[in-house]
Amino acid sequence: MKKGRQAASPPPAGPRDPFSSFSILNSKFHVAAVGLSLAAACGGTPPAERAPAGEGPIVVSAAMSLRQVLVDIGEVYEAEGRGRTAFNFGPANSLARQIIEGAPVDVFVSADEAQMNAAVAAGAMAEETRVDLVSNQLVIIVPADRPERLSSASELAGAAFRRIAVGEPEAVPVGVYAKAYFESIGIWSALAPKIVPVTSVRAALGAVEDGGADAGVVYRTDAALSSRVAVAFEVPVAEGPRIRYVAAVTRASARPDAARAFLAFLAGPEARALFEKSGFVTLTPSRRDEPDAGSRRPEAGSRTGI
């Protein structure tokens, strides 16, 4: 196992892990270990573990649903000699919490506006750098071995669906979106007892893949990554919640200029093409609010990671 994905697009050569050199790792580790032991033994001050700012990678905390496309974008960024990136993927709510508590993150990419708003409200983000990146679409998925088509999402209330995997509806963006949609069509209270809240959109995908859930709500881009799930219903964009991936530089960033440069790249044409190839709906600069519903399918060649 060397590379975690099989990208159809030509991947740039060279190691993907920014820290993968063993000798560097070892020496860093020894410094850290000795420092820690000293600190523990005699209350001394361990030497600073981090190299002075300037050469390290830009640390990007990003929503789990962006993993494949951001790793691709990071590789292009690095291959063009613009700088190195290190990605920390997780559900946006945890990522926001970490940033608010001062985790050394340079750029935050949230899958919804609520978590970005929370980070902004806590004074953790450089608000003027905030940018809407892309949109997405909700789909209802079922295990591929029992495919079916739903004529409406209301059919989820039927007895055939006993467990429905959804991101935690109060916090995980995909779950918040799903709850908002089900509420808007008036079936949330009927579905609530059947909802299995999970920690991220990928966990919802996994629950349906393994048959633990009879259905799940994920983004279109995630459904396209798995051959073991089938799309049963696409939530029409006009009826669904407004989905926004938003990004901003953190206030705590030690390298705000480099972070801004990466953010500009994320919002730029090269990244835009990669987002589109993965099935994300890109926004025009004038903030087109209605992506064309479901007409653009992700290309097979852009499927990565599975």
Partner 1 sequence: MIWQITWLTVSMALVATLIVLPPGVLLAWVLARRQFAGKTFVETVVSLPLVMPPVATGVILLYLVGSRSPIGRALASIGIEVLFTRKAVVMAMAVMSLPLVVRTARAGFEQVSTRYEDIAATLGAGPARIFLTISLPLAWPGVLGGAVLGFSRAVGEFGATVMVAGALPGSTRTLATAIYTFTETGQDREAAVLLAVSVTIAFVALWIANRIGR
Q: Residue numbers of the site for partner 1 (CB under 8 A)?
A: 1-2, 4-5, 16-20, 22, 25, 28-29, 32-33, 36-37, 40, 45-46, 48-50, 59, 61, 64, 67-68, 86-90, 94, 97-98, 100-105, 200, 202-203, 205-206, 225-226, 252, 305-306
Q: Which is nearer to partner 1, 259 or 283 (CB)?
A: 259
Q: How far is the CB of 289 from partner 1 (least distance, A)?
A: 29
CB of 254 to partner 1, least distance (A): 10
Residue closer to partner 1 by CB (options 191, 201) is 201
For residue 293, the minimal CB distance to partner 1 (Å) is 25
DSSP character string of the chain: ---S---SS-PPSS-SSTT--HHHHHHHHHHHHHHHHHHHHH--PPPP-SPPTTSSPEEEEEEGGGHHHHHHHHHHHHHTTS--EEEEEE-HHHHHHHHHTT---SEEEESSHHHHHHHHHTT-B-GGG-EEEEE--EEEEEETTS----SSGGGGGSTT---EEEE-TTTSHHHHHHHHHHHHTT-HHHHGGGEEEESSHHHHHHHHHTTSSSEEEEEHHHHTT-SSEEEEEEPPTTTS----EEEEEBTT-S-HHHHHHHHHHHTSHHHHHHHHHTT-EEPPTT------TTTSPPPGGG----
Pick between residue 124 and residue 156 the one whose CB is nearest to partner 1: 124
φ, ψ for residue 242 (rounded to 5)?
-75, 110
User: Which of 129, 200 has the CB closer to partner 1?
Assistant: 200
Task: In angstroms, give the least distance from the CB of 235 to partner 1.
Answer: 22
Q: Smaller CB distance to partner 1: residue 67 or 277?
A: 67
Output the smallest distance, CB 205 to partner 1, in A.
7
Q: How far is the CB of 40 from partner 1 (least distance, A)?
A: 5
Nearer to partner 1, 49 or 239 (CB): 49
- Distance, in Å, from the CA atom of 54 to the CA atom of 63, rounded to the nearest integer, reads 25
Task: Give least dist CB 47 to partner 1, A.
Answer: 9
Q: Which is nearer to partner 1, 49 or 270 (CB)?
A: 49
